Structure 1
């Protein structure tokens, strides 16, 4: 029996299955490294996790949880805008009848 990997949401601090969370990574840039959504969940390097809800992402930004998780100063100013764009993309895919993974129609 294979166990599901557990991760902690940095917004609400709830431990849950990795499949229920979205992953955030750092993009290199000057002067601060920017936090970016890892939609495929496969980018290399350190990552951190939040639930796919506006509430958890907003809490993570307000608590400065991204800086703690990445153990460095980060630019998290675009996190909420990037998350909103991600939600819009998911809503668009659901309306068009396409799956994220394969692009096949229902």
Structure 2
């Protein structure tokens, strides 16, 4: 009796190795890049975060953490306040973009409107990122 299955199924039942049996990437898809979780700096791995404003990934040390406190978005300078945090570059452009996109309230999962006026006042005067404070 002839095989009534489509030719692709008939070939899969043969003893030759199939593509799925030779896959070495744990079934995640051939050629798919896995996101990098940390950036190597010497022997130490540093965590990577995404900026709410520009959506670029950067080392955690180049971003500031924002948390919701009493209906207001505040900068968590030491990054130790409890609760959900979001990360943004300490530049006017990134903070204003994040506020305009309403990304701050969305990332912090705020129930209502979140005050963001205090975020712009904490920025450095020259919008410097990663530059020592003594540099003009």
What is the TM-score with the length of structure 2 in the denominator? 0.56
Q: Which has the higher helix share?
A: 1
Corresponding residue number in structure 2 for 1:11: 53
| Structure 2: gaps spanning 5 or more residues | 1-42
What is the TM-score with the length of structure 1 in the denominator? 0.70
Aligned pair count? Answer: 88
CA RMSD of aligned residues (A): 2.5
* Residue 76 of structure 1 pairs with residue 76 of structure 2: no
**If you compute each CA radius of gyration, which structure gives the higher value, 1 or 2?**
2
**Distance between the aligned counterparts of 1:85 and 1:71, measured in 2?**
22
Secondary structure, counterpart of 1:75 in structure 2 = coil
Equivalent residue for 2:90, pick from 29, 52, 65: 52
Query: Which whole-Å deviations, capped at 9, do the CAs of 1:5-42 have from their partners, x for residues lacking one?
Result: 010001010111101101101102xxxx2101111221
Misfit runs of 4+, over 4 Å: none
Corresponding residue number in structure 2 for 1:87: 124
**Distance between the aligned counterparts of 1:86 and 1:16, measured in 2?**
18
Higher relative contact order (CA 8 A, sep 6+): 1
